[in-house]
Amino acid sequence: MKRRLLNKYEKNPIITSEMMPEEVLYTFNPGAIKHNGEYIILSDVTMLDDIHRLWVLRSRDGYNFIPDPGPARWPEADPEHSETCTYDPRITKMGDEYIILYASDLSQNDVRIGIVKTKDFNTFERISVASELGNRNGALFPEKIDDLYLRFDRPFGNELNPCFMWVSYSPDLVFWGKSKPVTYKGKPFHDGHKMGAGAVPIKTDKGWLEIYHTVSTTCNGFIYRLKAMLLEPQDPSKIIGYTRNFILWPEHDYEMKGRVMNVVFTCNAIAEEDGTMKIYYGAADTNIGLATGRIDELVEACLKDE
């Protein structure tokens, strides 16, 4: 058996559109977290009107999920900003609340980071819609640093200057600033054609462990794959080390064929008490797979930094 840092569950895909109580096109790229002993998935679901809505699924064991009867009752955005699609949610626990950063689509090219909170995944309350257009892949850190919230985000780039990860700070989850690029050895870090935060970072005794996506170009389009990086505990804009090799990549039909081919994409990594992690990843923007790994092995791989 070849050794991998992340191993895929043999019964993947773990969630498909057939499991949903209504006819839907795709279910993918979920946020995921444990709440009151339950695994909660907040999945992108593309409905028959082609709009991405968020939908909660719940599980006692992390393998068998039951969807809620309908999509999450998502709070209205502010009056001058009507959201069309909501997708790629990342859930962070802060005290007794869960803060969800997600991509809020005004139109195909006008995306910004919306912020909503919940205590129970039944009712959701809006905190803010960030002011700046052209930003997504927001992932809130699970604790403040120097009394400020901080998040990864990913301002849009262009063909000549492809996008990559940044860190921004906020006193209140409404106003964001002090933005700076994530750097490696003092320089803005680029990996692949473009890249962005994946999971909500996990705190370890060696630094922040972040699972991120990196995008390669081929003559037939993009390939989305995952890697890991470790960031400085007090200044997570600085990379300590990262994996040169991919840790998750499309290889099976359910990851290679679908709405968008050749995509594995994550918005979560759940740290378990036994030192393992579970990643519920989007596969081909169509299904959800489960991959598991050991946190210490991922940290070691980042520390090797080669």
Q: Pick between residue 203 and residue 257 the one whose CB is nearest to ligand BMA.
A: 257
Decide if residue 224 touches ligand BMA (CB under 6 A): yes
Decide if residue 263 touches ligand BMA (CB under 6 A): yes
Choose the binding region for ligand BMA from 35-43, 61-69, 260-268, 272-280 (rule: CB under 6 A). Answer: 260-268
The residue within the footprint of ligand BMA, chosen from 30, 89, 192, 282 (CB under 6 A), is 282
Decide if residue 88 touches ligand BMA (CB under 6 A): yes
Decide if residue 192 touches ligand BMA (CB under 6 A): no
Q: Pick between residue 104 and residue 170 the one whose CB is nearest to ligand BMA.
A: 104
- How far CA 242 is from CA of 279, 296, 297, 301, in Å, comes to 18, 14, 12, 7
Choose the binding region for ligand BMA from 2-10, 180-188, 257-265, 286-294 (rule: CB under 6 A). Answer: 257-265
Q: Pick between residue 87 and residue 149 the one whose CB is nearest to ligand BMA.
A: 87
The residue within the footprint of ligand BMA, chosen from 153, 191, 255, 285 (CB under 6 A), is 285
282 DSSP β-pair partners? 265, 288
Do residues 52 and 286 touch, judged by C-beta distance below 8 A? no
Decide if residue 198 touches ligand BMA (CB under 6 A): no
Decide if residue 260 touches ligand BMA (CB under 6 A): yes
CB of 87 to ligand BMA, least distance (A): 6
Task: Classify 198 as helix, strand or coil.
Answer: coil
Decide if residue 87 touches ligand BMA (CB under 6 A): yes
Residue whose C-alpha is closest to residue 52's, from 114, 123, 130: 114
Q: Pick between residue 94 and residue 106 the one whose CB is nearest to ligand BMA.
A: 106
Tell me, residue by residue from 21 to 60, as one string, x for binding to ligand BMA by CB under 6 A and - for no binding: --------x-------------------------------
DSSP letter assigned to residue 263: B
SS3 content of the chain, % helix, strand, coil (to 5): 5, 50, 45
Binding interface with ligand BMA (CB under 6 A):
29, 87-88, 224, 260, 263, 265, 282, 285
